[in-house]
Amino acid sequence: MEQFALTDDQKAILDAVRRLVKEKVEPRAKEIDEKGEYPFDLKELFAEMGFLGADIPEEYGGQGQGLLTSCLITEEIAKACASSALIVAGQELGFTPLKIGGSEELKQKFLPKFASGEFIPAFGLTEPNAGSDAGGMSTKAVRDGDHWVLNGTKCFITNGGIADVYTIFAKTTPGEGVKGISAFLVEKDAPGLSIGKHENKMGIRGSLTTDVIMNDCRIPAAHQVGELGTGFGLAMATLDRTRPCVAAQALGIAEGALDFAVNYMKERKQFGKPIATFQGLQFMVAELATEIEAAKYLLYKAASIADAESKAGRLRLSSEAGKLSAMCKLKCGDVAMRVTTDAVQLCGGYGYIKEYPLERMMRDAKITQIYEGTQQVQRVVIGGHIFR
């Protein structure tokens, strides 16, 4: 980490996160998973500590620390509880379209509330028939005087049902493909907005995931984010910046799982000695630790470059930054799945039972290979940047 010259502020934030995780998050992780309930108490703690506004500029009430800091916070929390880490990562995803593409009026109205944690945002891109093919969405927005009227359904929406503001992407010019998509802010009490089914998920069970339904949903015309027809570009620019947060979540899960397995191996005895002394198992751990370290530096590099380009005022990140963003998400997601699977193996039957956290970590890790672009989509993105 020192290779990336963390600031004194970042080091202080990390120390605060570690203390909070040890005292408040780790003791709650099992209960959060079993009950499948959003941990509002932890959200309030994160808000009080300023974690939710780490990547929001100071002029809007945030800390102005940048994406790398948000990733460091997410990673540290995910070592104990992936669902709790998603509170921070989900906030980042939800407010980024507004931060990089919204009008000054909208920024002044909403960003301070996102920074303080008073408001929870959500990102509404995916639809039942438009997942990886986001350009195939069917949600439509039609101008009606001083309002936009939205119709359509979004699915798999993180923070669905508890968000105060949804960034919804909709077609404003049918027949124009991705050039006909625009972005809008929809407040939770907007007429015609409703919440559909709550998904019963394998992992990240403490994060709420729902359908969001718009039936003649009316919003002020001023809630359009960016220029007409620029919504798809805004969504892609957002994902370039937020995929490192998913990578950070995955990395934290992997680190937490390996730490648990190593400690277990030091205590577990077979044939009269700790299993940590068995060379075959040491080789497994050595490979996992190496994969984690490689993933970590790729993540930190991607986040650091994104920060540098954002400070320079870029809306769309460079091809190099976009490539690294997809690479770190691909690498960290795959490492999380491998490490948690092997950590369960290293702990044998104890790794498989719910009394211990590894089976939860393994379930949580899987989603990092799926959301914000599947691993297959990341390969398409990376290949596109390489051959462009």
Q: Is residue 34 annotated as part of the catalytic site, yes or no?
A: no
Tell me the CA distances in angstroms from 383 to 192, 316, 377, 378, 380, one per residue in order: 41, 18, 10, 8, 5
CA atoms within 13 A on the CB side of 387: 6
- Return all residues near 179 (Cβ < 8 A) that are at least 6 apart: 173, 229, 232
Whole-angstrom distance between the N-terminal and C-terminal Cα of the chain?
Answer: 32
Element (H, E) at 45: helix 40-48
171 phi/psi in degrees, rounded to 5: -80, 125
Conformational region of residue 175, where left means phi above 0, alpha means psi within -120 to 50, and beta covers everything else: left
Q: Which residue has the tokens 């027949």?
A: 175
Catalytic one of 76, 92, 291, 372: 372
Element (H, E) at 275: none
Q: DSSP secondary-structure letter at 127?
A: B
Contact between 184 and 140 (Cβ < 8 Å)? no
What is the secondary structure of 277-299 as a DSSP string? G-HHHHHHHHHHHHHHHHHHHHH
* Positions marked catalytic: 372
